[in-house]
C-alpha cells in the first residue's frame, strides 16, 4: 500500500474483504443484540482480558448494536483499497497537517496512521444497505462509534484512544473522513494479527443476530477451518447478558435460524449432538493465512481461541 496516496473511488461492491482487528471482533458484548429503547437506558462498558497482563477496555455513552458493527466493518474494508497511510514523518505539507490533526501520543507517534476518505453513500452501498441514499443511519452509527473510548494495556504499558480516532463529514455533499484507531490501522496494513471478513457474506446477511454471530465466528475460525461450540455459547456471542429459561429458549431458536442463514451464504453447520454444533468456514479464494507474529505496540498481543 503506497503511503499518502490519493484515495480511490470505491465502486459498487468493489470491496471483497475487510482486515479487521481481533479485539474488535472477539470482545464479548462490544456489539450485541439490542431491544428497542435500550440505547437510551444502557451504556457501553466492556473489558476483554487476554491474560498475561494484556487487556482492552471499551467504554461509551451508548451500547453498540449490529448496525454499528456493519458500519465499522465497512470503514475497515474501505481502508484497504482507498485508505491513506500517513508515515510518522509525512513528506507533504498536507500530510504533516493531517498528522498533527491526529495528535498521536507516545508509541503511536512512531506508528503509521490510517485515514479513510469517502462518502456516506459509498459506505452504505458496500455494506449492503437497501437504501444507500438514506445517510442518516450511517452518520448516527459513525458518531456513536466515535464516542467510544478505548484503553489498551500490555503489562505496565497503557494506551488510550477513541474507537475512531478522528471523524469529519460534510452533509451537503456527503463526504466522509475517518481516522482509524491504532489497532484497526495495524490490522488493515497487515502489521499484526488480523481477522479476514468476507464482504460478500456481510452484504448477503439479513438478520442482526446473524451479523453479530458471523463476525464473532470470523474472529475465531480461519477461512477453510472448523470449530465446535454449544448453542448457549453461540447465544452468548449475540446476547452477553444472563436470561431466564423462557428468554433462553427464544435465544436458542434465533441462534438456530442464524446458523441456517450462515449455511445459506456458504458456511457448513452440523448439529453433531443435541445443542452442539460443528461450524466450518468457507475457504478464501487464493488466500493463505500463515501464523502471524505480534509484537508491542499492538497492545492485546496474540489472541487465544474462545472457550468452547
| Spatial separation of the C-alpha atoms in residues 154 and 54, rounded to whole Å | 5
Residue 290 gets which letter from DSSP? P
Question: What is residue 279's predicted lDDT score, i.e. its pLDDT?
Answer: 97
Residue 64 pLDDT exceeds 90: yes
pLDDT digits (tens, 9 = 90+) for 219-248: 999 999 999 999 999 999 999 999 999 999
Cβ-count burial 125-144 (b if 16+ within 10 Å, e if not):
bbbbbeebeebeebbebbeb
Range 31-57 average pLDDT: 90
The predicted pLDDT at position 16 comes to 83
Question: Mean pLDDT over residues 152-175, rounded?
Answer: 84
Distances (CA, A) of 263 to 74, 151, 226, 258: 22, 36, 13, 9
- Position 19 pLDDT exceeds 60: yes
Per-residue confidence at 186, pLDDT binned at 50, 70, 90? confident
Average pLDDT over residues 62-84: 88
pLDDT of residue 208: 96
pLDDT tens per residue across span 93-146:
544 444 444 444 434 434 556 788 888 988 998 898 888 888 899 999 999 999
The answer to whether 255 touches 235, Cβ cutoff 8 Å, is yes
For the entire predicted model, the pTM comes to 0.81
The mean per-residue pLDDT over the stretch 262-267 comes to 96
Task: Say if residues 39 and 62 touch (Cβ distance below 8 Å).
Answer: yes
Q: Give the phi and the psi of residue 125 in degrees, each rounded to 5.
A: -60, -45
User: Can you tell me the distance from the alpha carbon of 120 to that of 174, in angstroms, rounded to the nearest whole number?
Assistant: 6
* Dihedral of the alpha carbons of 96, 169, 62, 245, in degrees to the nearest 10: -110
Q: What is the mean pLDDT of residues 198-207?
A: 94
Task: Give the confidence band of 213 by pLDDT, cuts at 50, 70, 90.
Answer: very high
Percent of the chain with pLDDT over 70: 77
Strands of the chain, DSSP E: 17-20, 44-51, 54-60, 83-86, 113-119, 149-154, 157-162, 164-170, 175-180, 195-198, 226-230, 268-273, 276-280
Q: Above pLDDT 90, what percent of the chain?
A: 48
Strand-pair partners of 229? 277
Q: How many residues does the chain have?
A: 308
Report, as an integer, the average pLDDT of 22-35: 94
Position 182 scores a pLDDT of 84
Q: Residue 177 half-sphere exposure, CB side, CA atoms within 13 Å? A: 10
pLDDT band for position 81 (cuts 50, 70, 90): low
- Nearest residue to 71 (alpha-carbon basis) of 172, 149, 144, 151: 144
- Residues whose CB is less than 8 angstroms from the CB of residue 253 and which lie 6 or more positions away in sequence, other chains included: none
245 CB-near residues (< 8 Å, 6+ apart): none
Q: Which residues are registered as beta bridge partners of 115? A: 84, 179
pLDDT at 190 over 70: yes
Tell me what pLDDT residue 60 has: 96
Residue of higher predicted confidence among 168 and 81: 168
Burial class (CB in 10 A: 0-12, 13-18, 19+), 208: buried
Long-range contacts of 158-163 (CB under 8 A, 24+ apart): 159/105, 159/106, 159/107, 159/108, 159/297, 159/299, 160/105, 161/105, 161/108, 163/24, 163/58, 163/60, 163/72
pLDDT of residue 111: 52
Average confidence score pLDDT of the chain: 80
pLDDT score at 187: 87
Does pLDDT of 293 surpass 60?
no
Report the alpha-carbon distance of residue 296 to residue 192 in Å, rounded: 10
Binned at pLDDT 50, 70 and 90, residue 163 comes out as: very high
Amino acid at each position: 500500500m503506497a503511503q499518502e496516496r490519493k484515495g480511490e473511488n470505491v465502486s459498487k461492491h468493489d470491496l471483497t474483504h475487510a482486515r479487521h482487528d481481533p479485539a474488535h471482533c472477539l470482545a464479548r458484548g462490544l456489539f450485541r443484540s439490542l431491544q428497542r429503547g435500550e440505547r437510551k437506558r444502557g451504556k457501553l462498558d466492556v473489558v476483554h482480558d487476554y491474560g498475561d497482563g494484556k487487556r482492552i477496555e471499551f467504554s461509551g455513552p451508548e451500547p453498540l448494536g449490529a448496525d454499528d458493527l456493519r458500519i465499522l466493518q465497512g470503514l475497515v474494508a474501505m481502508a484497504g483499497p482507498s485508505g491513506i497511510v500517513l508515515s510518522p514523518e509525512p513528506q507533504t505539507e498536507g500530510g504533516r497537517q493531517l498528522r498533527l490533526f491526529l495528535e498521536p501520543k507516545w508509541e503511536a507517534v512512531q506508528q503509521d496512521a490510517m485515514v479513510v476518505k469517502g462518502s456516506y453513500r459509498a459506505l452504505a452501498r458496500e455494506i449492503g444497505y437497501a437504501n444507500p441514499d438514506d445517510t442518516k443511519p450511517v452518520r448516527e452509527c459513525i458518531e456513536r462509534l466515535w464516542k467510544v473510548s478505548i484503553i489498551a494495556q500490555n503489562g505496565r504499558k497503557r494506551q488510550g484512544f477513541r474507537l475512531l480516532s478522528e471523524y469529519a463529514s460534510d452533509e451537503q455533499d456527503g463526504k466522509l473522513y475517518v481516522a482509524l484507531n491504532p489497532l484497526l490501522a495495524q490490522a488493515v496494513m497487515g502489521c499484526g494479527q488480523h481477522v479476514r471478513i468476507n464482504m460478500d457474506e456481510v452484504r448477503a446477511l439479513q438478520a442482526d443476530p446473524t451479523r453479530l454471530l458471523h463476525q464473532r465466528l470470523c474472529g475465531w475460525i480461519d477461512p477453510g477451518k472448523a470449530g465446535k461450540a454449544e448453542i448457549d455459547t453461540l447465544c452468548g456471542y449475540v446476547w452477553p447478558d444472563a436470561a431466564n429459561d423462557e428468554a433462553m429458549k427464544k435465544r436458542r431458536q434465533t441462534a438456530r435460524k442464524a446458523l441456517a442463514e450462515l449455511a445459506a451464504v456458504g458456511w457448513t453447520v452440523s448439529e453433531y449432538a443435541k445443542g452442539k454444533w460443528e461450524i466450518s468456514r468457507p475457504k478464501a479464494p487464493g488466500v493463505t493465512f500463515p501464523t502471524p507474529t505480534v509484537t508491542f505496540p499492538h497492545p492485546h498481543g496474540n489472541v487465544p481461541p474462545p472457550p468452547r
